[in-house]
């Protein structure tokens, strides 16, 4: 909260009447009068400041009188937002369709020796999986880059064994685990599990006509499917929340209808 007061030697309507604050997202202005009738303004913080979004604010506060012509005074308000420890460390993450050359992680080792004995180089050791074919490391900087393609549906995790060596022949190694993140890169697949080629004209509403299985290889929200059928046919769809099976029912009698309906893309 910030308090401001302006002085106007004029009296009555010609004296100080109002304060105006320049538009902003964080502060609101409230006006008060003290026991002597002198008006003052209070800036109140309504929305928290975020140094990472806006480290500096420039505002203007204008005091105006009620005379004709109206006169005003302006003060510039400069606010510097100090940092607070409100952000946790965040590791870089790469999606399954990240292009070759994407930096996955940078490993770092230290050596207390001097000269060539303290110069470190990095290599990826042979692993039980194909990590050495998917990832490569910069021997000088320790940057681990993607050189092959990854597929979440085929492999969700890689273990990379990195070795750091100095020129004196001493080594140390570390294991880096790379988790592959899923992207929505698979389309739903529809399979007709059973179908009826003929339907009696007096079939009762609620009769199961066919069962369809819909699956999506993606995970989480990307793997959830939503089902719809045409609105102009005498059938309705019932989706099971616990399985990808959809039951199609006739919703009305179809006596005397000269139509044919096909399922399963036929």
Topology of domain 2-80, CATH: Immunoglobulin-like (2.60.40)
SS3 state at 115: helix
Burial class (CB in 10 A: 0-12, 13-18, 19+), 150: buried
Domain boundaries, the chain: 2-80, 103-179, 189-250
User: What is the per-residue pLDDT across 7-30, written as a single tens digit (0 to 9) for each?
Assistant: 888 888 888 889 999 999 999 999
Report the percent of the chain where pLDDT is more than 70.
Answer: 76
Quick one: average pLDDT of 122-133?
Answer: 80
pLDDT for position 256:
39
SS3 state at 24: coil
Phi and psi angles of residue 13, each rounded to the nearest 5 degrees, phi first: -65, -25
Q: Return the higher-pLDDT residue of 111 and 1.
A: 111
| CATH for the stretch 103-179 | 2.60.40.60
Nearest to 6 by CA among 61, 68, 77: 61
pLDDT for position 34:
86
Class of domain 189-250: mainly beta
Q: Tell me if domain 2-80 and domain 103-179 are identical in fold.
A: yes
Mean pLDDT of the chain: 78
Reported confidence tier of residue 77, pLDDT bands at 50, 70, 90? very high
pLDDT for position 244:
45
Q: Return the higher-pLDDT residue of 173 and 231.
A: 173
Decide: pTM greater than 0.85: no
């Amino acid at each position: 909260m910030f308090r401001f007061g302006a002085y106007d030697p004029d009296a009555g309507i010609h004296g100080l009447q109002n304060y105006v604050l320049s538009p902003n997202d964080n502060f609101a202005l409230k006006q008060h009068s003290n026991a002597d009738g002198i008006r003052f303004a209070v800036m109140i913080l309504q929305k928290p400041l975020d140094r990472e979004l806006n480290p500096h604010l420039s505002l203007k506060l204008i005091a105006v009188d009620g005379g004709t012509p109206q006169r005003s005074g302006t003060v510039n308000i400069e606010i510097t937002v100090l940092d607070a420890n409100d952000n946790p460390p965040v590791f870089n993450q790469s999606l399954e369709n990240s292009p070759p050359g994407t930096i996955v992680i940078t490993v770092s080792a230290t050596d207390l020796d001097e000269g060539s004995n303290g110069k470190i180089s990095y290599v990826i050791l042979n692993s039980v999986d194909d990590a050495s074919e998917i990832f490569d490391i910069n021997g000088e900087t320790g940057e681990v880059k993607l050189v092959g393609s990854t597929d979440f549906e085929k492999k969700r995790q890689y273990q990379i064994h990195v070795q750091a060596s100095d020129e004196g022949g001493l080594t140390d190694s570390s294991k880096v685990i790379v988790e592959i993140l899923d992207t929505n890169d698979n389309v739903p697949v529809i399979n007709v599990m059973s179908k009826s080629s003929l339907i009696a004209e007096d079939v009762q509403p609620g009769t199961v006509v066919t069962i369809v299985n819909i699956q999506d290889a993606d995970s989480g929200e990307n793997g959830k499917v939503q089902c719809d059928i045409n609105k102009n046919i005498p059938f309705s769809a019932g989706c099971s929340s616990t399985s990808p099976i959809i039951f199609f029912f006739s919703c009305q009698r179809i006596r005397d209808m000269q139509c044919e309906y096909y399922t399963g893309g036929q």
